[in-house]
C-alpha cells in the first residue's frame, strides 16, 4: 500500500530535479533511466491492479478523512510531504553542493541541515501515528467500559424477570407469559451483543485470553447441539454431524472454540429458509482436524464475499429478510481460529447455500 502511495509522490520530484539540473550539467543518464524504469513499472502495476483502487489510494484527502483527523495529523499526508521534502532538500543540496565542491565545511553543513530537517519530519510522522494508536486504544477502552456498565442493568432485568416468570409473586396469565418471553429473549440478545463487543475489544487490544486444554471437538459439538435442540426443532431444520471415528483430542481453549462453533452453527441454522438441511463433517487431515458445516441457505452474494470476515459486516441478502445479528460472529470466529493456529474459510453461492470450514492443529 505504501509503495503505491509513495511511488507517484516520487515522480514529480524526479521530473523537477531534471529541469533544475539542466542549467548546470547535462541530465545525468541514471536519473533518466530511473525515471523511465519506475514509470514503466508503474504502468505494469496499474495493469495488474484495479486502477480505480489505485486512484482511491492516491486520494489522500479521502484517506485522511477516513481517520477523522486533521490533515497535519494524517500519516498518509505527512508521508507524502516527507517524500517531497526529502527530494526537495536533496535537489537543493545538490545544486548548492556542486558550486562548493571544494569546500568540505559547507558540504558538511548541508548534510547536517538535511539531517535536521529529516529528523523533524520523521518526528512529526511518528507523533501522528502515536495519536492514531492512542485513538484506537481509547476506542477499545470505551467499548470495554460501556460493555461492563451495560452488564449490571442487564443482570438486574434478567433476574427480576426470572422471579416474575416463576409465578411466585402471583399467577401469570398465558398472555403475560408471552410478553415475558419477549423480554427474556431480548435481554438474551443484548447480553450476547455485549459479550461479543467485549470479545472484539479483547481481540483488538490483543488481550483475548486463550487457555490450552484437551478437547474433543465431537463432544463439544454434540453438547452444543443438545442445548440448542429446542431452537433447531422450532426452525424445522435437519442438523446432522458426520464425524470420523477415533479422532484425536486437540489442545485449544474449549470456551473460545465453542464460541466459534456456536457462531457457525447458529449462522447455518438462521440462514436456511423454510425446511432445509445443515450438514457437519469432522475429519482428520494430516496434522489437523478439519471441521465443515454446509447449509442449504440463502448463501452469500459474490460481491459481499470478500467482506464476510470483517467486523459489523452483514451481507445484503441477509439484511433483506433477517435484521437480527451484529455482524461480529465471523470476525470473532476468524480471530479465535487464527490465534489457535488454524485456518478458516468458506465457499458460497447465493440462493444455494454456504459451506464454512476451519482446521485446528492436533498438536500446538
Q: Is 231 in the site for other proteins (CB under 8 A)?
A: no
Copy the grid coordinates of residue 81. 510531504
The answer to the question of residue 191 lying near other proteins (CB under 8 A) is yes
Exactly one of 110, 154, 193, 247 binds other proteins (CB under 8 A); that residue is 154
User: Nearest approach, Cβ of 162 to other proteins (angstroms)?
Assistant: 5
Q: Which of residues 38-67 bind other proteins (CB under 8 A)?
A: none
Q: 151, 277, 338, 339: which one contacts other proteins (CB under 8 A)?
A: 151
* Nearest Cα to Cα of residue 248 among 116, 162, 136, 360: 360
Closest distance of CB 290 from other proteins, Å: 29
CB of 266 to other proteins, least distance (A): 18
8 A C-beta contact, residue 213 and residue 251:
yes
Q: Residue with C-alpha cell 481509547?
A: 138
**Stretch binding other proteins (CB under 8 A), from 144-152, 258-266, 285-293, 328-336:** 144-152
Give the separation between CA 135 and CA 129, rounded to whole angstroms: 10
Q: Does 160 bind other proteins (CB under 8 A)?
A: yes
Shortest distance (Å) from residue 185 CB to other proteins: 14
Measured CA to CA, the distance from residue 335 to residue 339 in angstroms comes to: 6
Residue 144 or 288: the one with the smaller Cβ distance to other proteins is: 144
Of the pair 162, 244, the CB lying nearest other proteins is at: 162
The residue among 43 and 163 lying less far from other proteins, judged by its C-beta, is: 163
**211 lies in the binding site for other proteins (CB under 8 A):** yes
Question: How deeply is 52 buried, as exposed, middle or buried, from its count of CB atoms within 10 A (0-12, 13-18, 19+)?
Answer: exposed
Largest CA-CA distance found in the chain, in angstroms, rounded? 103
- Residue from the set 25, 26, 168, 178 that interacts with other proteins by CB under 8 A: 168
Cβ–Cβ < 8 Å for 64, 77:
yes
Under rule CB under 8 A, residue 315 binds other proteins: no
Out of 159, 179, 231, 312, which residue is the one contacting other proteins (CB under 8 A)? 159
Integer distance in angstroms from the first to the last C-alpha of the chain? Answer: 33
Q: Does 279 bind other proteins (CB under 8 A)?
A: no
From 158, 258, 338, 339, residue interacting with other proteins (rule: CB under 8 A):
158
Using CA atoms, how far apart are residues 192 and 110, in angstroms rounded to an integer?
A: 62
Helix (H) or strand (E) holding 241: strand 237-243
Note whether 253 and 340 are within 8 A (CB).
yes
Angle between helices 2-21 and 29-48 (to 10 degrees): 150
* Minimum distance of other proteins from residue 158's CB (angstroms): 7
- Contacting positions for other proteins (CB under 8 A): 148, 151-152, 154-156, 158-160, 162-163, 168, 191, 194-195, 198, 207, 209, 211
Amino acid at each position: 500500500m505504501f509503495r503505491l502511495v509513495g511511488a507517484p509522490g516520487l515522480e514529480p520530484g524526479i521530473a523537477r530535479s531534471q529541469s533544475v539540473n539542466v542549467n548546470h550539467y547535462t541530465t545525468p543518464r541514471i536519473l533518466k533511466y530511473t525515471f523511465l524504469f519506475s514509470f514503466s513499472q508503474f504502468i505494469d502495476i496499474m495493469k495488474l491492479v484495479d486502477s480505480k483502487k489505485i486512484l482511491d489510494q492516491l486520494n489522500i484527502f479521502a484517506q485522511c478523512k477516513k481517520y477523522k483527523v486533521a490533515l497535519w495529523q494524517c500519516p498518509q499526508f505527512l508521508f507524502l510531504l516527507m517524500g517531497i521534502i526529502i527530494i526537495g532538500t536533496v535537489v537543493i543540496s545538490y545544486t548548492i553542493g556542486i558550486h562548493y565542491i571544494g569546500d568540505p565545511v559547507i558540504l558538511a553543513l548541508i548534510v547536517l541541515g538535511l539531517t535536521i530537517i529529516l529528523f523533524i519530519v520523521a518526528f512529526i510522522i511518528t507523533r501522528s501515528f502515536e495519536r492514531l494508536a492512542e485513538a484506537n486504544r481509547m476506542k477499545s477502552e470505551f467499548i470495554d467500559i460501556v460493555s461492563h456498565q451495560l452488564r449490571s442493568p442487564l443482570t438486574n432485568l434478567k433476574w427480576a424477570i426470572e422471579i416474575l416468570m416463576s409465578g411466585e409473586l402471583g399467577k401469570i396469565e398465558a398472555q403475560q407469559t408471552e410478553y415475558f418471553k419477549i423480554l427474556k429473549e431480548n435481554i438474551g440478545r443484548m447480553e450476547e451483543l455485549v459479550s461479543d463487543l467485549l470479545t472484539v475489544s479483547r481481540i483488538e487490544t490483543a488481550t483475548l485470553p486463550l487457555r490450552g486444554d484437551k478437547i474433543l471437538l465431537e463432544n463439544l459439538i454434540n453438547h452444543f447441539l443438545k442445548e440448542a435442540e429446542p431452537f433447531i426443532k422450532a426452525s424445522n431444520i435437519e442438523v446432522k454431524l458426520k464425524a470420523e471415528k477415533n479422532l484425536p483430542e486437540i489442545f485449544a481453549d474449549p470456551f473460545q472454540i465453542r464460541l466459534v462453533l456456536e457462531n457457525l452453527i447458529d449462522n447455518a441454522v438462521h440462514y436456511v429458509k423454510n425446511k432445509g438441511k445443515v450438514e457437519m463433517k469432522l475429519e482428520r487431515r494430516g496434522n489437523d482436524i478439519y471441521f465443515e458445516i454446509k447449509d442449504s441457505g440463502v448463501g452469500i452474494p459474490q460481491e459481499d464475499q470478500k467482506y464476510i470476515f470483517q467486523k459489523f459486516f452483514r451481507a445484503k441478502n441477509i439484511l433483506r429478510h433477517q435484521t437480527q445479528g451484529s455482524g461480529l460472529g465471523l470476525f470473532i470466529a476468524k480471530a479465535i481460529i487464527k490465534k489457535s493456529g488454524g485456518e478458516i474459510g468458506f465457499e458460497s453461492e447465493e440462493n444455494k447455500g454456504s459451506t464454512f470450514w476451519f482446521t485446528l492443529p492436533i498438536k500446538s
